[in-house]
């Protein structure tokens, strides 16, 4: 399941859905990304996420499909929020279910690394000094490149 939404998400509901309908599931690895109150510069007051709606779903699905080809996973959920968020708000959830834990760990980290570098989302922070677009990080490109070596 892939969803892009302004509303918050209920992690417990997602995990219950992943485990309760399939007794083959032995492991669920999940990642939640949150708005931090401090970034490179001053204290963040809001974070606004823009995206490219027609492309986002397709890009996320392509990433999940790659993960399913690479690892023996059972199901994958990606939920990404857009719009204006506050510190400690949830931004993104990636949850992967599998029979054994290593596939779920690898696939979850893979999906996050690709999402960070391939999915069309852009963050704009506001703080007391004004608004600025968040810069992409070289460390995210390096994290993604690990999977192709």
Partner 1 sequence: MNSFQLEVNIMQIKVLYFARIKEAVNYSSEDVDLPEDIETITALKHWLSKRGEVWANLFSGKLVVRAAINHNLVDDLATFEDGDEVAFFPPVTGG
Torsion angle, alpha carbons of 56, 120, 11, 76, to 10: 60
The correct pick among 120, 126, 127, 144 for binding partner 1 (CB under 8 A) is 120
- Distance between CA 100 and CA 105 in Å, rounded? 9
Which regions of the chain does DSSP assign to beta strands (E)? 2-5, 27-34, 44-51, 73-81, 83-85, 90-98, 121-127, 130-133
- Distance between CA 57 and CA 78 in Å, rounded? 10
Using CB under 8 A, which of the segments 54-62, 77-85, 104-112, 117-125 binds its own copies?
A: 104-112
Task: Report the residue number, 24 or 138, with the smaller CB distance to its own copies.
Answer: 24
Residue 112 binds partner 1 (CB under 8 A) = yes
Residue 129 binding result from its own copies, partner 1, none, given CB thresholds of 5 to 8 Å by partner type = none
The correct pick among 135, 139, 148, 149 for binding partner 1 (CB under 8 A) is 135
Positions touching partner 1 (CB under 8 A) are: 33, 49-52, 54-55, 58-59, 80, 91-92, 112, 115-124, 133-136
């Amino acid at each position: 399941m892939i969803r892009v939404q302004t509303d918050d998400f209920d992690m417990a509901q997602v995990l219950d859905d992943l485990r309760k309908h399939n007794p083959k599931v032995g492991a669920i690895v999940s990642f939640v990304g949150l708005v931090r109150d401090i970034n490179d510069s001053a204290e963040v007051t809001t974070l606004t996420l823009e995206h490219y709606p027609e492309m986002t779903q397709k890009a996320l699905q392509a990433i999940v499909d790659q993960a399913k080809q690479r690892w023996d996973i059972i199901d994958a959920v990606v939920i990404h929020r857009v719009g204006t968020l506050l510190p400690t708000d949830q931004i993104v959830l990636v949850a992967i279910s599998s029979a054994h834990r290593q596939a779920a760990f690898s696939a979850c980290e893979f999906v996050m690394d690709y999402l960070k570098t391939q999915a069309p989302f852009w963050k704009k922070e506001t703080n007391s000094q004004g608004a600025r677009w968040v810069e992409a990080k070289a460390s995210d490109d390096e994290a993604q490149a690990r999977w192709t070596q």
